[in-house]
Amino acid sequence: MPKRKAAIAVGGVAALGAAALLLPNANASQDQNKASGAGAAKTLKAADASDLSAQLQKLLGDALAGSYYDSGKQQLVVNVVSGDNNVIQQAEKAGAVVRQVENSISELKSAAQALKTKATVPGTAWAVDPRTNKVVVTADSSVTGAKWNRLQSTVQGLGSGMATLKKSSGTFKTFVSGGDAIFSQVQGGNVRCSLGFNVKASDGSPAFLTAGHCGVAAKDWSDSETGQPIATVDQATFPGEGDFSLVKYNDANTQAPSEVNTGNGQTVQITQAADATVGENVFRMGSTTGLHNGQVTGLDATVNFQSETDPNGVDTVTGLIQTNVCAEAGDSGGSLFTQDGGAVGLTSGGSGDCTSGGETFFQPVTAALQATGATLGDGGNGAGDQAGGGDQAGGGDQAGGGDQAGGGDQAGTADPSASAGDEAGAGDQAGGDQIGGAADPSATAGDQSGAGDQSGTGDASGTGDQSGEGTGDGSDSLTGTH
């Protein structure tokens, strides 16, 4: 076969509009007022904060009760449960802001396990939120009657100060439909998803990653709705420990660029696999809704989707990244990435839409690469460094929660390719409320001036916690993205 370039470059469809990149644009001041009382916290990029978190996990061990990235101040905040001043001093010396908390990570994980044992019902999700030092439990609109009573009783049984419960007016589901769109013809109609990232399979052949529920739904995939298949599913995981598929191109000579197509002829080069950090800014590309951005709000999240094959069943997926980024049907499998070209996640499912906002869960790319044996890079040539699946910035210690004050205020998307210097004047991003429309990832500083104020309430420190009123902050359903 003649050598061809894959028509489905990573990412998908044009971005919605053109607006400025709104990211922190000033050096963070040193924080002298935390509970620890002293220390000169370092100003860090999100990737550096992730590395520091992993180092402190090894250094502090059980004394560490999670960590998160303060994107407004560009600092890493670490929780410690020990009153040992030596532990605090070690963390501060490393450059982190130290906060003393009540709940240890082992206690929080035990609480999450109790929820798994007693309250695994469709329409629920939970994760440990390092910002509130609690397990945050979310129930969608389908959780009513005896199911709601069971969930509420379980949460209350965990003890005061251990967990919070909130209600979403929508329903949890996977987003089946579509970076660039990929299609498959199955009995009963077509399936549409989005391509995540091009990779090299363990045998050296060109391939790509997408959502596992896409790979389970169909085996052969095309780059057009009525075209011939150009790729075949090699591995697929869903439900269970993840939501990812490895799909190999049928033509071994396919050129599979390591980039995300962000629309309007613009691309972002993907140079490495990156672990998510709670609080960092991320960008999502999908074939239905284009480019959108937000913040990571949790890691190692568990989501209980209503089974699509069994009316009385539940599809539980673990180990996901939780965000306040919006998504819709068809965005499943699409790329979650960072401004500097880090491949972070694959779109799994969530709630809401890109009009009213919502929250979306993603499969970590590092875990998918480790499980499939694939490597990231141009046409299989290895474009960059891949952090191992297990080195996820503190792993479960940052299993973030769901309190996302302002998480739905994502009226658009930011520009992931502008440099820090380009962002002066773009706006203060003290939180997760991202107002001002979709951004062009290649926009210059001039394009971005006066883009808008992002001083939203992105720090989900307990906002929206609802102990059973049922009026929740999630205005839309948790949906899966195909």
Instruction: Label residues 352-365 b or e (16+ Cβ within 10 Å = b).
Output: bbbeebbbbbbbbb
Which amino acid would we find at residue 257?
P
Cis preceding-peptide flag for 239 (omega within 30 of 0): yes
For tokens 């400025």, what's the residue?
20
Cis preceding-peptide flag for 441 (omega within 30 of 0): no
Candidate list 213, 351, 378, 442, residue with the active-site label? 213
Angle, vertex CA 306, rays to CA 303 and CA 310, nearest 5: 135
Count how many residues are written for the chain: 482
Residue 91: phi and psi, rounded to 5, are -65, -40
DSSP state of 239: S
**Cβ atoms within 10 Å, residue 276:** 31
Q: Confirm if 65 and 108 have CB atoms less than 8 A apart.
A: yes
Candidate list 50, 71, 168, 332, residue with the active-site label? 332
Distance of CA 96 to the CA centre of its chain: 23
- Residues in contact with 249: Cβ distance below 8 Å, sequence separation at least 6, in sequence order: 6, 205, 206, 207, 208, 230, 231, 256
Alpha helices in 104-159 (DSSP H): 105-118, 145-157
How many angstroms separate the CA atoms of 287 and 193, rounded? 8
How many angstroms separate the CA atoms of 129 and 131, rounded? 5
Candidate list 243, 315, 459, 473, residue with the active-site label? 243
User: Active site includes 331?
Assistant: no
User: Active site includes 332?
Assistant: yes
Strands 259-263 and 10-11: parallel
**Six-digit token string for 134:** 């609690």
| Closest listed residue to residue 333, CA positions, set 435, 441, 240, 214 | 214
Which residues are catalytic, by number? 213, 243, 332
